[in-house]
Structure 1
Amino acid sequence: MSVNSFGHLFRLTTWGESHGPAIGCVVDGCPPGLDLDEPWVQQFLDLRRPGTSNNVSPRQEPDRVRIMSGVFEGKTTGTPIAMTIDNVDARSADYPKDAPHRPGHADFAYDAKYGFRDPRGGGRASARETAMRVAGGAVARLVIPEVNIAASVVEIGGEPDESRWEELLDDARTAGDSLGAIIECVAVGVPAGWGAPIYAKLDAGLAAACMGINAVKGVEIGEGFAAGRARGSESMEAKQASGIDGGISTGRAITIRVAFKPTSSIGIGGRHDPCVGIRGAPVVEAMVALVLADHKLLHRGQCG
């Protein structure tokens, strides 16, 4: 069993490792006739790429995307859309084959499952893989033009005051430490009716998609855990604002909060993000877009 695909009718498969020659994805199920070119995808990739400031990994990857199939004369054809990004700044010597398992990483877990692992930058477990989720999410946005998706950092190191973030990051970097972060994503324009009761709940799909992002340890939909601390009389208005009832969208805005753990790569070699959550916003947006595109097609398939 190997689960490298995500989605039902709109399906994303990713491939590649952090230090391999390239990473890539295949988007299957995209409707034909949509305007798609490389600049459209590139604008989203540029938001998550490394090497752009002191607060992200210094690895210099331009992340230039190439569309290899599924597009003719600027239009999607309905066939699989393949995209690739070359890895140009890997330093595999930073990760010797006999390197011990790194605490907080997937090294031990991969060895336990497969009996073998690619030690170079975490291999498939690296956040490098999320670039292809962003590429797939760019295509998904074309399927849901009625929806606006926007995510941003709202906390770093437990601090919601943005004016203090630079100081916190500088202190953590100087100390060889790292910080966690919380991303908030809002989807506006989702029509009422997407999702399904019981086994295909829209909120469950969104939670699973965001929980599957590297370094994510918590997801809240709408009022989230605050609902467990509230009285019914206090939470009714918050429920109305959640955008999803009974697993089905209500037409209101959908708010998702995603918690990224502090980067585990402290005190070891290699190049890493002092706060991996800083580059998490475009990844969260992509996963939300992928889920919503899939649910739009599922809804249309059943209800017309």
Structure 2
Amino acid sequence: MAGSTFGTLFRVSNFGESHGPAIGCVVDGCPPGMPLTVKDIQTQLDRRRPGTSRHVTQRQEADQVEILSGVFEGVTTGTPIGLLIRNTDARSKDYASIADSFRPGHADYTYWHKFGVRDPRGGGRSSARLTAPTVAAGAIARKWLALRYGTVIRAYMSQLGPIRIPFLSWDFVEQNPFYAPNADVIPELEDYMDALRRDGDSIGARIEVVAEQIPAGLGEPIYDRLDADIAYAMMGLNAVKGVSIGAGFESIDQRGSEHGDEITPEGFLSNHAGGILGGISSGQPITVSLAIKPTSSIRVERRSVNRAGEPAVVQTLGRHDPCVGIRAAPIAEALLALVLADHALLHRGQCGEREDA
């Protein structure tokens, strides 16, 4: 199956299905000699893990990662790193009713037309379950970036459905299941999600991702622009329908005198560019915003068709996230880490260690 490998020098090949025996990935191109343990990866997987609050899917997966290769005596060897995560709580019977029909808004319809066969159990290959290996691979990338540049990558939710969440402090983000940067809004978010679950419906969200301590010079001017590769990676995250860098669509209303970030001997005076100019990192924080659509698997009855093209009514039972954006922050961080690690290695290969940089 094409489209399962991502990256140029720091490459990740993702495999598995939602209800198969296991999921995982192979990470190729990680530099040798970097200390790496299961804990480094497990910490990030635990942040994405399902069943951690009443507001997400109640599928109980421990998501315990196994390192199969590429690490010897606690350090990376420079060879492919094999990572395995076993599925332990799949309930395939929940999907028997939709085996012959297509969920509106889901990939069921397009998978059937592309392959002529599909695995309806949990969405098979199109399930957000396959983001777990991405987070595992991203944990390796982010550790290398942190050791080499001091890079810090963080994400938070800035909007859940109609509720906007003003940024107050990073300190709150890891203290609540929404990755919200403002403790005052948590009761409102909880009430909204409780009502949504009772309705059997779903909602979208907006996630902000920020990478700090990124060296200037990563990226290329035209085809391999850093911002283009970031957008490409983020659109590979299930349910993402929009990606913007820096001011994004708000730049439409800005004049050049406002949008262009002025530069002084002390540095930039603003960051409307989101840390990227002409496809190349400026050294400022890289800021990315994601629009995430509502979950397609809902209990509300919807009109559709079956494989014969006949009318059908679809109601999805089972365990699903009423808002996939709630668990998206660690995944978005991982994707940004993978892109940045890949570009850092590409830059090193092309320009070496320039003393004047």
TM-score range relative to shorter protein: over 0.9
**Is 1:258 aligned to 2:259, yes or no?**
no
Give, in whole Å, the separation in 1 of the partners of 2:277 and 2:161.
Answer: 32
Cross-structure match for 2:168: none
Query: TM-score normalized by structure 1?
Result: 0.97
Q: Return the match for 1:232 from 232, 249, 256.
A: 256
Amino acid across the alignment from 2:194: D
Map 1:1-304; keep pairs closer than 5 Å. 2-96=2-96, 98-145=99-146, 146=149, 147-161=151-165, 162-163=185-186, 164-237=188-261, 242-267=274-299, 268-304=316-352
Give, in whole Å, the separation in 2 of the partners of 1:99 and 1:65.
Answer: 34
Amino acid across the alignment from 1:266: I
Give, in whole Å, the separation in 1 of the partners of 2:37 and 2:3.
Answer: 28
CA deviations 1:117-147 (Å, max 9, x no partner) are 1110100000000000000000111221121
Cross-structure match for 2:302: none
Give, in whole Å, the separation in 2 of the partners of 1:151 and 1:192.
Answer: 21
CA deviations 1:235-271 (Å, max 9, x no partner) are 1235555210000000001110111111111111121
Give, in whole Å, the separation in 2 of the partners of 1:239 and 1:44.
Answer: 28
**Identical aligned residues as a percent:** 59
CA deviations 1:195-252 (Å, max 9, x no partner) are 0100010011111101110011111100001112222122123555521000000000
Give, in whole Å, the separation in 1 of the partners of 2:223 and 2:250.
Answer: 24
Q: Please provide the CA RMSD for this pair.
A: 1.2
Amino acid across the alignment from 2:125: R
Contact 1:150/1:185 (CA < 8 Å) preserved in 2? yes
Contact 2:271/2:284 (CA < 8 Å) preserved in 1? no
3-state DSSP of counterpart to 1:280: helix
The count of aligned residue pairs is 304
Give, in whole Å, the separation in 1 of the partners of 2:99 and 2:223.
Answer: 44
Contact 1:241/1:252 (CA < 8 Å) preserved in 2? no
Amino acid across the alignment from 1:251: G
Give, in whole Å, the separation in 1 of the partners of 2:2 and 2:210.
Answer: 32
Does the C-alpha gap of structure 1 residues 59 and 240 become closer, same or farther in structure 2, counting only changes over 3 Å?
closer
Give, in whole Å, the separation in 2 of the partners of 1:101 and 1:177.
Answer: 17
Moved over 4 A (4+): 238-241
Contact 1:157/1:168 (CA < 8 Å) preserved in 2? no
Amino acid across the alignment from 1:272: H
Worse-superposed segment, 261-270 or 106-115: 261-270
Give, in whole Å, the separation in 2 of the partners of 1:269 and 1:177.
Answer: 11
Contact 1:158/1:180 (CA < 8 Å) preserved in 2? no
- Residue segments in structure 2 that go unaligned for 5+ positions in a row: 166-184, 262-269, 300-315, 353-357
Give, in whole Å, the separation in 2 of the partners of 1:274 and 1:29.
Answer: 37
CA deviations 1:265-294 (Å, max 9, x no partner) are 111112100111000000000000000000
Contact 1:33/1:75 (CA < 8 Å) preserved in 2? yes
The offset of 1:94, in angstroms, is: 1.0
3-state DSSP of counterpart to 1:151: strand
Give, in whole Å, the separation in 2 of the partners of 1:158 and 1:140.
Answer: 34
- Residue segments in structure 1 that go unaligned for 5+ positions in a row: none
Amino acid across the alignment from 1:152: Y
3-state DSSP of counterpart to 1:213: coil
3-state DSSP of counterpart to 1:36: coil
Give, in whole Å, the separation in 2 of the partners of 1:86 and 1:211.
Answer: 26
Worse-superposed segment, 135-144 or 231-240: 231-240
Q: Which has the larger radius of gyration?
A: 2
3-state DSSP of counterpart to 2:234: helix
